[in-house]
Structure 1
Amino acid sequence: MMENGSVTNGMAEQRSEDTVEFRLLMAYAQRRRPAKTLPQQPQAGDASPPSPKVQAKKKTVARRLRKVLLACVRPQRDQEATPQPAGGPEFRTLCPALDADSLAGKISSIVESVDLSPLDIVPDGLDDVIEEIVDLLRESGDELDTKILEDDAFAQRLRSSFTYTFFEKIANLFLQKVAPCDIPANKSLEQAKVALTFDITSKLTAVDCHPMNMVLGFGVKYLRQNFSTWVQQHGGWEGAFDEDEEEDQVE
């Protein structure tokens, strides 16, 4: 039984780019981090333009984003051209009909509505770098990107430690610091935590020594392990973030 389970899990990880969650994470990353895909043009009266190091990083992220986007779109086109047998996996029946961009917009609005003021909740024995990353992720803007660019020792430690287990610890601590009082009355704690998982994953794509699709794959795995039951209970991804559903939860 363990051997079969291991094979199944391995296949699921290898095919993360074919899942609904991957499409949503990709759409969210494009929506929330558009500035990282285009070089910034200096305006009249601005200070000196970005350093060559920053410009090179932005170009690298742009190339990675385009590569992952093409990898996501091409299988969908091939699938549309070739008839698929009925009764396939759930993500193959739901993925083409999903309005990923619209749903990513709803998720983004939830992230913006959550109060992420600094807190001092740190479990004993937790790696200091994880606590520091969580604090940077809670800040508005691209503080994690800036830290990676400016602190080579921090960047090296982050890159050398970046596995799914490390990603999971970051996400767990980040979500542990989110309290019901931080969330608007018309949103549920689960909605907020799912939305913030999208944001964590998007921001961690700044760890650019790893393929962007690997980081998004970590996000897919985390979402499935922690929120798949909740999503299914609310009618799938679109149902879980439907505005009528949110109003019913408040009542």
Structure 2
Amino acid sequence: MASWFQSAGRQRRALRLHLRLQLPAEDRVFYLYVKWFFAPLVRIYLRLKVRGHERVPRRGPVIMVANHASFLDPVVLGSACSRPIHFMVLQSMYDWWWLRWFYWGMQTIPVRTEESDPRAIKQALSRLKNGEVVGLFPEGGRSTDGKLMQGKEGAALLAAVSGAPVIPCFIHGAFESFPPGAGFPRPSEITIRFGEPLQFPREKRARRDRKEMERFSVRLLGAIARLQEEETHESLPGGRGERAASPRVSGKP
């Protein structure tokens, strides 16, 4: 328990520093309220475990990508990371009154679904230019069965234009706690695994070739799948688990 409080104290100090550097004064209070109110509840109620947080750069632009199977995903990922994450979320999610204030307080980036959204891309690139963290779910939507779906190329585009490193993440247990259609999250154990940073090839950034985008997207989804394998391997008796299905990449960004 003592180690948990020490870890929580370090995260609070790191968060205050990042907020001073990255968010306007008027935005900090609400972000701190949301972060400090939810993070302890999430860590206790969902028995949140974090693996590999040291792989997240302490400063500078970062693109964070993760699997997406539950409404809890941005909540638990935001609680696990000491840095503020500006998630790209579907604009339709703001229709949920009980989520709207949370997304607003967490400084999310709304994305239109009916077409490619250059406004959202521009806003995300602006965040990265300011040295902030942008989070997105490359599958483009929630998985209905908890398995990885085919990915889209938005993260690859951001990585190519900004040059920011991409941190793959795997969220284990959120689907079981709060699957689609559930009314309220069940007490569960959730683990967040942060992977090694991936970089879009420097010599290929200027061209922004579609094939290169697709290849990088495959690398990102593959990295998430490997983190899934690691988690499954460690969580099952005997250290043996199912091999994650190879993800595919959609031709749409």
Is TM more than 0.5 here? no
Please, what TM-score do these two structures have when normalized by structure 2? 0.28
Structure with more of its chain in strand, by fraction: 2
Using CA pairs below 8 Å that are at least 6 residues apart, which structure has the higher relative contact order?
Answer: 1
Q: Say which one has the larger Rg.
A: 1
Please state which structure has a larger fraction of its residues in helix: 1
